[in-house]
Structure 1
């Protein structure tokens, strides 16, 4: 009996089929010790999870978390917790797919679905990348304005320059890219840790917020923000990204090596996403403790939060920490968005264009609406555009989640690393929740427009 028939190896292979490994020369470029202390192996796999976690605390999250905390207090903490648990499961599945099959999610879709379906999936992915990039442009431009007084329009244009930063890091190797991301994540974590201490929220209120409440679903405004939180937290392009970058580790490409790699990769991403949970919860808790508690329930703009933080808390450094964390978040997100865009384009289309060209194209598409909206409607317009971009991201989730769950549940593709029945059921349930919430949002939106 062959290995595949025995379920010990996946049906998809690179050997002899002319396919190009995901991320090309970066594939299997990070050494993994074959023996020794478990800590050495853990550190070898440390990195991809943190790069993925960047997307779960980007400027888009700030808009939805601030709006949710100021309007509804701690109520939407349960949504942050739920979406983070969804993210942990889905990212674990993405890592499993990449390691078990040697394919990233885009490559897997291209090989499984007919061309028309792949075109739809690719367009949905590109729309998600643009929505994510939109949030990064707005967040970075706002941070530059708050820290240095640079006008929003000029700040949005300046963000195009970050393409050179990404290129420089990629030339220094994947480990350098990961180190840069982790340093900025530490900056964000420390800034919000200090803000949490300054805000001094009531522990009882925080714990109560993690208990799901019916108001999240029955209140259309709360539901809109809740879906925005899910869209900002469970990022569709991150599933493509993770399924690719876990393959940068030089683990043994045999059944035992893959099984071990899945264990370490899932551990890495789970720890990193718990960090993202802390940051997202900290933003909402700070908004609830500082703004909602003091009657400022209409905070929808990042600029408003910046202006009010120090006066309300009575500590001058609070606003500065907020802006520094926002800038770190915006810059960090550009790295992962660039990689995700490259993976999606190469995986679906086998189209390879220079990294700088790819980055300038996507960033240019995102800059245009930001500049237009800022010129016409000012800061209030960009705030609404930021929240809307996260709802758009949520609408793209099914196009990434459903293929992912289908692939990892298929023994013919996954071999011995196929997901167990309980995990497949949980994954399909998560996909169902996302679909139901999106349908309800659409119904409420059209009903409101008709009324």
Structure 2
């Protein structure tokens, strides 16, 4: 059974790899440090919402054999609306992922620096972090090979390393199981926890993963009989990703002292309590989280550009490669010289805040179109759950936008 699952594992794991990036690791760390196990329920809610939406994206990809951006371009008949949504998708995901890529690479750097220390080259007033080049080269080689199966195996391996690293770290802290169960199933809002709750859900239910998943499943599966495998892959992979996020919260909750602002601080905080090996496990997990997101973010952006602009060709086509190369290079440059493109990131956050409810709404609309999905449209239950999730994404999007402009 386990052997068969490993044989059929695939796109779902890449989605898990994409949402467990340095941003997720950081927000989970802060949730654990500041609120203990009290916000685990928010992660459970996020996992359920992600499974529901990603299953829809996977079903769309297998049945239509098209990416989500391609279907949107074909099904939207009103020119103004089509152009607006296409521009919003391109801006939020292509420009957004370019700005977030520096954060992905920086997260991987934190993991390496925790183990090997800093490696900086100084040229006058400019300091260059060599570790970002190492991560950039690894990501470039894996993407440039352009073989889906190879890329899938590499990312699955990294996700397993990341999962084992964070889960062992959580087990080492010997948490109280009863308190964990209370945190999971009894929703609580400790004082000043609302923005952290929004952050936990917002870093798990990610708009670009819907595009990535719909595009990746058709690389792996092309028959309606494959839907069962795709569902199993989606559910298991996202639950595994959710467990990793929960493990980070549990690990962070074990720190009784100190100023913890990110996962690298968490690694240092765990070392005196649980030994140096805890630090190394966490650092390895952080490195894997950074590098998987550094690969999937440019890949998703390239798929979105391809679908929105109607390009032909696959992973090795020149236009497809040019998109992910630009995003990867920008990420390496920004992270290596320590530039934080704050204005671009703010723009990306606003665009993503608008994009998530719009895409969730469009996805629900498409999933009820027999002309696209035939007999594989949503059931009533799937629609009810989908509309509840849509309401949550509208709330999150509004809160995220208000937060960017310091209105809350």
1:129 aligns with 2:97: yes
In the TM superposition, what whole-angstrom CA distance separates every residue of 1:306-355 from its partner, at most 9, and x where no partner exists?
Answer: 21111122x11111111111112222223322321221010001246445
Look up the match of 1:201: 175
Residue in structure 2 matching 1:413, options 346, 355, 372? 372
How much has 1:147 moved relative to structure 2? 2.1
Does the 8 Å CA contact 1:63/1:386 hold for their aligned counterparts?
no
Q: CA deviation at 1:240?
A: 0.6
The 1-side partners of 2:30 and 2:339 are apart by: 23
List aligned pairs for 1:236-251, cutoff 5 A: 236-251=207-222
Secondary structure, aligned partner of 2:20: coil
Is the CA contact (8 Å cut-off) linking 2:140 and 2:328 kept in structure 1? Answer: no
Match of 2:141 in 1: 165
TM-score of the pair, normalised by structure 1 = 0.78
Match of 2:272 among 293, 298, 311: 311
**Inter-partner Cα distance in structure 1 for 2:407 and 2:357:** 24
Which runs of 5 or more structure 1 residues have no equivalent in the other structure? 1-37, 253-257
Task: Note the C-alpha offset of 1:429.
Answer: 1.2
Residue among 126, 132, 146 paired with 2:114: 146
Q: Bigger CA drift: 324-333 or 161-170?
A: 161-170
1:376-404 CA deviation, whole Å, 9 max, x = no partner?
Answer: 9xxxx99xx99998897555422432221
**Tell me, what secondary structure is at the counterpart of 2:63?**
helix
Q: 1:92 — aligned with what?
A: 55
| Contact kept? 2:14, 2:156, Cα under 8 Å | yes
Within a 5 Å distance, the mapping from 1:33-44 to structure 2 comes to: none
Aligned length: 389
Seen in structure 2, the aligned counterparts of structure 1 residues 53 and 157 have a Cα distance that, compared at 3 Å, is same
Say what the alpha-carbon RMSD is for the aligned residues: 3.0
Equivalent pair of 1:65/1:283 in contact (CA under 8 Å): yes
3-state SS, counterpart of residue 234 of structure 1: coil
Superposed displacement of residue 226, structure 1: 1.7
Give the Cα–Cα distance (whole angstroms) in 2 for the partners of residues 418 and 199 of structure 1: 45
Structure 2 unaligned blocks of 5 or more:
77-81, 121-127, 312-316
Give me the whole-angstrom Cα distance separating, in 2, the residues matched to 1:409 and 1:115. Answer: 22
CA distance in 2 between counterparts of 1:444 and 1:346 reads 32
Secondary structure of the corresponding residue to residue 19 of structure 2: coil
Q: Which residue of 2 aligns with 1:188?
A: 162
1:272 to partner: Cα distance: 0.8
User: What TM-score results when the alignment is normalised by the length of structure 2?
Assistant: 0.85
CA–CA distance in structure 2, aligned partners of residues 175 and 342 of structure 1: 18
Counting only pairs closer than 5 Å after superposition, residues 20-419 of structure 1 correspond to structure 2 as: 45-113=8-76, 114-151=82-119, 153-154=128-129, 155-170=131-146, 173-215=147-189, 219=191, 221-252=192-223, 258=224, 260-288=225-253, 290-291=254-255, 294-296=256-258, 298-313=259-274, 315-351=275-311, 353-367=318-332, 369-370=334-335, 374=338, 393=352, 396-419=355-378
Change (3 A) 1:209 1:86: same
Instruction: Find the partner of 2:396 among 419, 437, 451.
Output: 437
1:17 is matched with: none
SS at match of 1:74: coil
CA distance in 1, matches of 2:32, 2:351: 21
The CA distance in 2 between the partners of 1:276 and 1:106, in whole Å, is: 25
1:167 shift after superposition? 3.4
Please give the secondary structure, in 2, of the residue aligned with 1:161. helix
Judged with a 3 Å threshold, the aligned counterparts in structure 2 of structure 1 residues 323 and 214 are, in CA distance, closer, same or farther, namely closer
Change in 2 beyond 3 A, CA 1:87/1:156: same
Q: Quick one: distance in 1 between partners of 2:169 and 2:117?
A: 23
Compared CA separation, residues 57 and 390, structure 1 to 2 (3 A): farther
Of stretches 78-87 and 95-104 in structure 1, the one that deviates more from structure 2 is 95-104
